[in-house]
Amino acid sequence: MLIVASFTAAIAASLTVGSLGNSIQGMSDLKKYRVGVVTDTTGAEEMAARGVRLARYENIQDGLQGLLDEKVAAFVYDKPLMQYVALGEFESEVQVLDDAIGRQDYGIALPTDSELREPMNRALLTYLRSDAWTRVLSRYLGVN
């Protein structure tokens, strides 16, 4: 359980805004604007539950392009994936904000009595504390 909590703490939906020209600084600003989401995602559900006006997109690339085309003022999606796409395909054109919108848990399922559970937990903890993990985060997500 500890490893799942440690690993998933950094996994959350996040907010992206165009790097130029709008005044969105966080979640409290969203009700004033139209926000892009990918259809049938937890980000879409969360924004709908908060009463935010939505524009639905089929994928993250279309949503970020809608942001650049000023069809939406912000875009909400899974933070690590958004960081990866924003860094690789949209470079300095968009800004991923630090605001976490909702927690999304990821895990690895093993049978209840699996002998792999303890060695896997130890290996994951060791890796998450290593310089190698820091380099992976930096390379793919631009995290320092």
> Quick one: average pLDDT of 63-91?
89
User: Mean of the pLDDT values across residues 44-67?
Assistant: 93
Q: Does domain 2-141 have CATH number 3.40.50.300?
A: no
The pLDDT, as a whole number, for residue 54 is: 95
Q: Where are the alpha helices (DSSP H) in the chain?
A: 2-8, 42-49, 60-68, 79-89, 117-128, 131-141
**Is pLDDT larger for residue 42 or for residue 18?**
42
pTM: 0.71
Between 84 and 91, residue with greater pLDDT: 84
Contact 110, 116 (CB under 8 A): yes
What pLDDT does 22 receive? 57
